[in-house]
């Protein structure tokens, strides 16, 4: 499992349907955006671990400016967006190879389970994109703080 995590002051994701209409899917203010990709070997334990890690990761400043507060501590939001391209292999050729990513069906189930685990960690504060859809993600990176998490 790979997660690109960004601390944001605000973020949103819109879904673009087949005819080009745009619909808002998720919106948060202060919080974190998690772009999430899954390998074929993911386990429920890995999903649980990652959801807890994100909820408790101390990346927000305290009163002294030190990164010492978590999403939980400051009651902030989490926007979770599926991103199979995190498993792109670009070492050979000019076209990315995605064979390291979970299959569509498996990844869809993993994404659903991961979003449920995040919601259990942060009740009422999790927004999501739409799995498998064409999306537009907008965010204002705060800091900037961008972290790579892998399990």
pLDDT grade for 23, boundaries at 50, 70 and 90: very high
pLDDT digits (tens, 9 = 90+) for 27-55: 999 999 999 999 999 999 999 999 999 99
pLDDT, residue 6, reads 98
Which of 9, 43, 85, 146 is an active site residue?
Answer: 85
Taking the C-alpha atoms of residue 79 and residue 133, their distance in angstroms, rounded to an integer, is: 15
- Is there a catalytic annotation at residue 83? yes
pLDDT tier at 151 (50, 70, 90 boundaries)? confident
Please pick, among 6, 83, 128, 130, the residue that the annotation labels catalytic. 83
Location of structure tokens 């190879």: 97
| Mean pLDDT to the nearest integer, 12-28 | 95
pTM comes to: 0.95
Quick: pLDDT tens for 102-133: 999 999 999 999 999 999 999 999 999 999 99
In Å, how far from its chain's centre is CA 37?
A: 8
**Residue 51, domain extent:** 2-150
Task: Report the b/e string of 74-102 with b at 16+ CB within 10 A.
Answer: eebbbbbbbbbebbbeeeeeeeeeeeebb
Average of per-residue pLDDT across 48-70: 97
Which CATH number characterizes residue 82's domain? Answer: 3.50.80.10
Based on the residue annotation, tell me whether 131 is a catalytic residue of this protein.
no
- For the chain, the domain total comes to 1
Catalytic hit among 38, 84, 128, 130: 84
| Residue range 80-107: mean pLDDT, rounded | 96
């Amino acid at each position: 499992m790979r997660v690109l995590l960004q601390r944001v002051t605000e973020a949103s994701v819109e879904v673009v349907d087949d005819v080009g209409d745009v619909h808002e899917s998720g919106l948060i203010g202060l919080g974190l955006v998690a772009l999430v990709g899954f390998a074929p070997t993911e386990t429920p334990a890995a999903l649980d671990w990652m959801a807890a890690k994100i909820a408790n990761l101390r990346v927000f400043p305290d009163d002294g400016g030190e990164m010492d507060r978590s999403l939980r501590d400051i009651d902030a939001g989490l926007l979770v967006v599926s991103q199979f391209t995190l498993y792109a292999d670009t070492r050979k050729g000019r076209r990315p190879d995605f064979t390291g990513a979970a299959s569509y069906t498996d990844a869809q189930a993993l994404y659903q389970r991961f979003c449920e685990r995040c919601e259990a960690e942060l009740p009422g504060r999790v927004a999501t994109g739409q799995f498998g859809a064409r999306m537009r993600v907008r965010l204002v990176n705060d800091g900037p703080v961008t972290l790579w998490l892998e399990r």
